Amino acid sequence: MLNLSVTIDKHSGFCFGVVYAIEMAEDILNQEGKLYCLGDIVHNDEEVKRLQAKGLQIINHEHLKHIQNEKVLIRAHGEPPSTYELALQNNLELIDASCPVVLKLQNRIKNSYDKDEEIYIYGKHGHAEIIGLLGQTSNKAIVFQDLEELAIENLPKKLTLYSQTTKSTDKFYEIKAKLEEAGIEVNANDTICRQVSNRDSELRDFAKLFDKIIFVAGTKSSNGKVLYEVCKQTNPNTYFVSNPNEIRKEWFAEGDSVGICGATSTPMWLMEEVKQVIEKF
């Protein structure tokens, strides 16, 4: 036995938007044993498998066109107006679990679009939330992941800046400053979810406390990739796993203190399973 002391980060686990979506899904699954969900309900394969075993069926937008008279869950990332229009046509009952923070952002972007503002969104190309945001502008807003994608000299002299809710606050304000340095008037809307952005500093503090860090997240989670790097920068002895089978005994030395943490899409039950495996070493 290696006599490892193992602690789970109390701040890790689902953000409230994901909790809300999963609770809505489980209520219906417990009653009816079946529910369609448009896209992965959360970017965590283990949690998706758990819910699929209860009867959740993951579909994409192409499948949605051919479904009628059924219940379909809209996940926390939100959807563009076209999804709601299709639901009306196909007599679908939408169980809307869009995160309130995302819905507020969608409304603000729609208001800016209605005022003919030049809208730029800092976010990940093709991300589910971004698709919903673009839909508020008839896909006319400009999405960028990095300022280097934009030719600053060709940008309008006045623009409205938004951000995907899960992006870095520091990076958002850095982008705003660089645009202003280039002589551009920026109407900046900080729409980043603080429950997500505050995880940066919380994880840095957590990662300092242990010899080894096990970061648990789904391979599809953007938030997971970012937060893993935060941990790795603070504590080089940080390891990424998506399930307990990936943990290796050779990572640990006798008497190590081990911290377990995860993304806002990582379920607490999965971190508990990881803890149980490590404690057996």
78: left (phi over 0), alpha (psi -120 to 50) or beta: left
When pLDDT is cut at 50, 70 and 90, the band that residue 226 belongs to is confident
pLDDT for 261 beyond 90: yes
Residues 6+ apart with CB under 8 A from 157: 183, 184, 185
Residue 221, pLDDT score:
85
Distance CA 155, CA 151 (A): 7
Query: Could you give the domains of the chain?
Result: 5-13+195-279 (3.40.1010.20), 16-99 (3.40.50.11270), 101-192 (3.40.1010.20)
Residue 197, pLDDT score:
81
Per-residue DSSP letter, 147: G
39: left (phi over 0), alpha (psi -120 to 50) or beta: left
> Catalytic residue among 129, 181, 185, 273, which?
129
- Residue 102 half-sphere exposure toward CB, CA atoms < 13 A: 30
Residue 166, pLDDT score:
87
Q: How many helices (H) and strands (E) does the chain have?
A: 10, 12
pLDDT for 187 beyond 90: yes
Residue 223, pLDDT score:
82
Residue 142, pLDDT score:
97
Residue 251, pLDDT score:
97
Share of the chain above pLDDT 70, in %: 100
Three-state DSSP state, 260: strand
Residues 6+ apart with CB under 8 A from 247: 214, 239, 241, 274, 277, 278
Mean pLDDT value of segment 234-243: 97
- Type of residue numbered 217: A
Mean pLDDT, the chain, integer:
94
Pair 105, 162: CB distance under 8 Å: yes
Q: Is 254 a catalytic residue?
A: no
| Cβ atoms < 10 Å from Cβ of 61 | 14
Share of the chain above pLDDT 90, in %: 87
Distance CA 53, CA 32 (A): 13
pLDDT in tens, 95-119: 999 999 999 999 999 999 999 999 9
Element holding 215 (H helix, E strand): strand 212-216
Mean pLDDT value of segment 34-48: 94
pLDDT for 58 beyond 90: yes
Three-state DSSP state, 130: helix
Pair 120, 146: CB distance under 8 Å: no
pLDDT for 225 beyond 90: no
Overall size of the chain counted in residues: 281
pLDDT in tens, 142-172: 999 999 999 988 999 999 999 999 888 889 9
